[in-house]
Structure formats: C-alpha cells, structure tokens
Chains A and B, each alone.
Chain A
C-alpha cells in the first residue's frame, strides 16, 4: 500500500530535550515536506526537499532541522524544543511524474513541549 508514515504519532517532551520525528514514504517520490498545523493558521511549511541532499526552507524553519540522506526518509529534528513548537506536524511527499505534484500526507504527529 502506498503510504507516508510518521513516528511517533504522539510525543510529550520537555523544553530543550532534542527529538526527531521520522517520516518515510514508499512511493519513490522525489519531493517531501514538513508542515505544522496550528488552529486558525492552516498548515505552514517548515522545510521541503526536492531530492536526496537537497533541502530548502519553507515559511517557518526557525528551530527545526531536516536531512534527506535517502530518498524515502525525511526526518524532522528539533534540537532544543520550546513550548511554542507544540503543534500537530505533518509530513508529505509528492512527485512530478504526472505533472501535478499532488501531495500525499502522513497521519500526523502531535507534539507537546512542556
């Protein structure tokens, strides 16, 4: 089954404790993105990647890092989480094979930073 997976699905942590949220896709997509969703703000793109070793900042990259060492994986790293990073995070992947770049989203990771 074609899918985007994220782990963990739920995470409660404390300020300053480094964490990584993993994202993996099995569709051989070139493009991957991370978003955060906050009430009333829609989704905001954190980082995106256009291929292995190619990443770029989205609209809210501060406090986050990413890497793309393999095509299928795109982990999101919070080196020193703060309470304002409490949010719902989505990973997405897409391809230009049919020219639409249609995104497929993972199930989401709800992060709480205390």
Chain B
C-alpha cells in the first residue's frame, strides 16, 4: 500500500526566511505533484515532477524529486505572506490512482 508522508505538518515562519517541506512515499512511483490550497478554496497545481533529479522552480518555490530516496522537497526562499497556504504532495500509485500526503499548513508571519 502506497503511503505518502509530509513533514512538517504545520510550519510557522517569518517573512524573509527559507525553509523546506519534505514529502516521502513508500513505494516506487514515476510521478509526483505539488499542490497549493488556500483556506476555503480548491487545489491549484504547482509542480509536476516526472523523473529522478527533476527540479522545477516558480518564483520563491522550488521543487525537486529523488526517486531513489522516494523523497521530494519543496523549498521556500525568502518567504512572503502570500505564500501562506496548505501544500500537498501527491504520488501516482498505478493508472490514475493518486495518493496525497496529509498536507503542510504554512503560515508566514510578518
């Protein structure tokens, strides 16, 4: 059974600081996704990582994938308040069976 873990589950950080969210999963997968969810809203796709060593960057967020370690990271650089949200990673088990992590709730404080 594929399990996806994220840590931390809650993260409170100051503006301007850097931090990393970790996503690890228990069985082999060739696709990993990161999503953002604002309170009361739907999910927005951030990154799609399709191969070992893949790195994607958008603004202050950078995601990477190590398929051998079954680990993905979402790195936040110089956080700003607008990044406050819940971040989910998701891994494909088989076919279109997506398994999500529990989410990391990020609060960026002034």
Chain A residues near B (Cβ < 8 Å): 31, 33, 35, 40-45, 48-50, 56, 58-59, 90, 92, 94, 99-108
A45 touches B33 (CB 8 A): no
A35 and B42 CA atoms in complex are apart in Å by 12
Interface of B is mostly: strand
Known contacts A42-B88, A42-B103, A102-B48; 18 additional CB pairs below 8 A are: A33-B96, A41-B102, A42-B102, A43-B100, A45-B97, A45-B99, A45-B100, A48-B95, A48-B97, A59-B97, A90-B42, A99-B50, A100-B31, A102-B33, A103-B98, A104-B45, A107-B41, A107-B42
Which 3 pairs of residues, A with B, have the shortest CB-CB distance?
Answer: A42-B100, A43-B100, A100-B48
Instruction: Evaluate whether A44 and B96 lie within 8 angstroms (CB atoms) in the complex, with A101-B31, A105-B42 already known.
Output: no
Judge if B43 is at the interface, Cβ distance under 8 Å: yes
Q: Which of B90, B95, B101 contacts A50 (CB 8 A)?
A: B95
State how many angstroms separate the Cβ of B37 from the closest Cβ of chain A: 9
